[in-house]
Amino acid sequence: MDLFSNLSLGLETAFQWQNVLFCLIGVALGTAVGVLPGIGPTATIAMLLPITFNFDDPTTALIMLAGIYYGAQYGGSTTAILINLPGESSSAVTAIDGHEMARRGRAGVALATAALGSFAAGTVATVVLAVAAPPLAQVALSFGAAEYFALVVLGLVVSIALARGSVLKALAMIMLGILFGAVGQDTYTGQPRFAFGIPELFSGISFVALAVGVFGIAEILRNLRDPQSRGGTISGVSSLWPSRSDFRRMGGPVGRGTVIGSLLGILPGGGHILASFASYAAEKRISKNPGEFGHGAIEGVAGPESANNAAAQTSFIPLLTLGIPSNPVMALMIGAFIIQGITPGPTVIDEQPALVWGLIVSMFIGNALLVALNLPLIGIWVRMLKTPYWILFPTIVILASIGTYAVGLNAYHVLMIAVFGLLGFVLIQCGCEPAPLLLGFVLGPLLEDNFRRAMLISQGDPSTFLTRPLSASLLAVAAAALLVSVLPAMRKKRDLVFVEDD
């Protein structure tokens, strides 16, 4: 079957009334769990997975679950922009400039930028998914353990560009994040590490507790300590729609973010998170006014939001063509396949064409529904800015605590929110940025796992990282990026931006 025949079959499947209905339910749920801090698509899909067993048509179930996933990428930007509390991990970068725009009375523009950029990137990435799935999957197949290790190293080095001020502090935050990611049972031996005899730490530190603490609670503490820092949050909103100048500035970042997200989405290990960080770093590097980043640059919203939504779409490529999950949500999607009696892998496209192409076409429908849902809600979200802070901050704490508790039904995670909130507040007062810490925490376990796998495969020979061309190239780029970051001219520019921000 050629592409047009496949799309015709997908249109016929996706536009069945029950599939459209559950696509709407999925994206609405996704938006909701993205907005609510601490819940996220992984926990939501995990809770709904048993329900899918009762669906007569597996296509309907998968369309709904997919809608929850990419819908959460939309919703996660809302709280990141309005209250500096990322609803989704991939929205952490959006909070850097999105929240600054909100503080300057441009919350409506920031939310519209996120919605429009997400729609454009999601649509283009879905075309990529439909047209180029097999060749892109082959690219992912060429990555072994050494290549994944090198890619993660590159991602961590690039994240230094996200931090203002000292390169040393940025590196320290990355290392701290990696150390936090190492807490828990060793993957190979099962022995607990850095748990200090605390049973609740044997399963590791909760990402939700860490993210909510260092971003949300720390921001609340900073605002309570310095009321002037939240003055912009309750200021009037001048516009709910981007101006012509804003649209001109959005175009390039949306296009570049779409390309970055489409490529990184097919790689295992949270490609949508890495894509948002990489897009932000790229926009900051090529900008003629890098000093604007961190102070409300619209490019800092358009690029990352486009990248994480594009990556969310293309993460389905290894799932549908190889049966390989690229992130925890895709692993749950494989569970949904198995519940329906379908073995995911290269034969699914031939054996279940209506399911695969119906799912792909439903993403076009879902992206359109998300814009239709989110743009009218911008005015409602913006009204949150006028809520008195003495009402807003206890509400944020309550919602964050409920959401965090709901993920693991563990009261210890709520305590961890308070601990990481205090830590985040101290780090901010010391002039450290939490974004590299978060990336180090997310990518640290992947870094360790692929390093150990590569060493096992090479029988302990560390030269394997340099003798493999792709791995050596990625490490060379990482070294070059680190060198550029510590050059005197670059260090002076970073220090200047840091002083201006203070």
pLDDT digits (tens, 9 = 90+) for 305-338: 888 888 888 888 777 776 666 666 776 777 777 7
- Indicate the pLDDT class of residue 226, thresholds 50, 70 and 90: low
Indicate the angle between helix axes 434-457 and 167-181, nearest 10 degrees: 60
pLDDT value of position 233: 44
pLDDT at 491 over 70: no
What's the rounded mean pLDDT across residues 152-159? 75
The Cβ-side half-sphere exposure at 396, using a 13 Å CA radius, reads 28
- Indicate the pLDDT class of residue 159, thresholds 50, 70 and 90: low
- Indicate the pLDDT class of residue 138, thresholds 50, 70 and 90: low
What's the rounded mean pLDDT across residues 135-140? 58
Indicate the angle between helix axes 58-83 and 299-314, nearest 10 degrees: 160
The Cα 125–Cα 366 span in angstroms is 13
The Cα 35–Cα 77 span in angstroms is 7
pLDDT value of position 202: 81
pLDDT at 493 over 80: no
Contacts of 409 (CB under 8 A, 6+ apart): none
SS (H, E, C) 401-451: HHHHHHHHCCHHHHHHHHHHHHHHHHHHHCCCCHHHHHHHHHHHHHHHHHH
Q: Which tokens go with 228? A: 């002037």
Residue 199: is it exposed, middle or buried by C-beta count within 10 angstroms (0-12/13-18/19+)? Answer: exposed
pLDDT value of position 498: 43
What's the rounded mean pLDDT across residues 244-264? 86
**Range of lowest pLDDT (87-96, 180-189, 365-374):** 87-96
- Indicate the pLDDT class of residue 164, thresholds 50, 70 and 90: low
Q: Which tokens go with 108? A: 């409506």
pLDDT at 378 over 80: no
Q: What are the tens digits of pLDDT across the range 454-488? A: 888 888 888 888 888 888 888 888 888 777 766 65
Q: 280, 304, 355: which is closest to 113 by C-alpha?
A: 304
What's the rounded mean pLDDT across residues 290-304? 83
**140: number of Cβ within 10 Å:** 18
Mean pLDDT of the chain: 76
What's the rounded mean pLDDT across residues 37-55? 66
pLDDT value of position 245: 84
Q: What is the largest CA-CA distance in the chain?
A: 64
pTM of the model: 0.64
pLDDT at 347 over 80: no
pLDDT at 235 over 50: no
The Cα 235–Cα 104 span in angstroms is 7
Percent residues over pLDDT 70 in the chain: 77
Buried b (16+ CB within 10 A) or exposed e, 227-244: eeebebbbeebeebebee
Listed in order, strand segments (DSSP E) in 43-193 are 184-185, 192-193
SS3 call for 185: strand
**Range of lowest pLDDT (48-62, 75-89, 124-138, 380-394):** 380-394
